[in-house]
Amino acid sequence: MQLPRSPAGPAAARDNRERANFFGWNRVSRNSDFSMKLLWTIAVVTVAGLAQAPADLFEKAPPDVDNSLRERVKAFYQCHIDGTYRKAEKYVAEESQDFFYQIQKQRYDSCELLKIVYADNFTKATVTQVCKGKWNINGDERSVSMPLSSGWVRKEGGEWFWQHIPAQQVPTPFGQMDYSAASKEKGGAGPNASKPASPTGLGIPTDMKSAAEMLMKQVVVDKTEVKLSSYEKSSDTITITNNTGGAVKLSFDYEAVVPGFKAELEQKEVPAGGKTTLKFTMVPKDRVAKPTLNTRILVEPLFQQFPVTIVFGIPPEVEKLIPKK
């Protein structure tokens, strides 16, 4: 079955280009809107992943312990609102200060405490804040509220201190992504890394771009160039692998029409961990040389695209007429 061109022709192709790759393929407004939606989706699921266990709901900290933590958390994040990061140092545990000095600091417009989960007889706590700030997405600065989790430890004397807890994975709508692996690639906060990457150390990447980049690498194709023949029957295939934790939908788009050319997706919806093939066939109507065809594989709901170049080999009699270099 040949995948038909969109009835809107070039207009539909332009629309697809507008929706494609929010990491720089096409910088348009719709692209930026999707970037924000993807970031917020990741953020919402991240908060859901940090939800309290049922037992935690019935285990309340002593009022003095709870009030002390809330005051320290408020003061710590107020330093990030004011941009006075050096003042925040007194709220950082000694063993985490080197990390805190090196990490990128994010300034917020406001922060609101969402929840506290206590552990180890109320000597440790995970605090989730929702902070509003300006986040740079693909060169477009937007004001967004994002959830941030941080670890806190109660030292001798009863005072609470911010403590760095390395994030190994980030929950997303497509399953868990290994954030530590991405950090290593960027020289970041992995076990073998020499210095921390750009995350705030609050348990979630600062700008969420790292998590989004990881997500965009989960769907892969084995090649982006296909070779067919202009003068005899030929075929080729591309294998598409979905490494996300959820299903993705595929479509194939091209603008020009080449007589005898067909493209067929084995599956238009690929389950988590699944593979499919895109088969190309060419049954030429004549022996005339065919122009190179530029096409795209589109991935939903990621709005991701893979450009695919289709090259048609020319007949031997035509090749002989081409001057040698």
Where are the chain's structural domains?
Answer: 10-24+218-319, 29-216
C-alpha span between 107 and 69 (Å, rounded): 21
C-alpha span between 290 and 17 (Å, rounded): 25
Structure-block tokens of residue 95: 């063993």
C-alpha span between 93 and 240 (Å, rounded): 47
Q: Name which CATH class applies to 10-24+218-319.
A: mainly beta
Q: Which of 23-32, 39-48, 242-251, 306-315 has the lowest mean pLDDT?
A: 23-32
R_g (Cα) of the chain, nearest Å: 26
Omega before residue 10 within 30° of 0, cis: no
Structure-block tokens of residue 172: 């997303």
Per the prediction, the chain carries an average pLDDT of 74
C-alpha span between 57 and 39 (Å, rounded): 29
**Which residue reads 């004397």 in tokens?**
157
pLDDT value at position 140? 61
pLDDT band at 196 (very low <50, low <70, confident <90, very high): very low
**Which of the two residues, 228 and 147, has the higher pLDDT score?**
228
Q: Is 204's pLDDT higher than 50?
A: no
Return the CATH fold of 29-216: Nuclear Transport Factor 2; Chain: A, (3.10.450)
Q: What is the mean pLDDT of residues 293-312?
A: 90
Nearest to 312 by CA among 298, 296, 295, 292: 292
DSSP-derived 3-state class of residue 84: coil
Same fold, 10-24+218-319 and 29-216: no
Q: Is 141's pLDDT higher than 80?
A: no
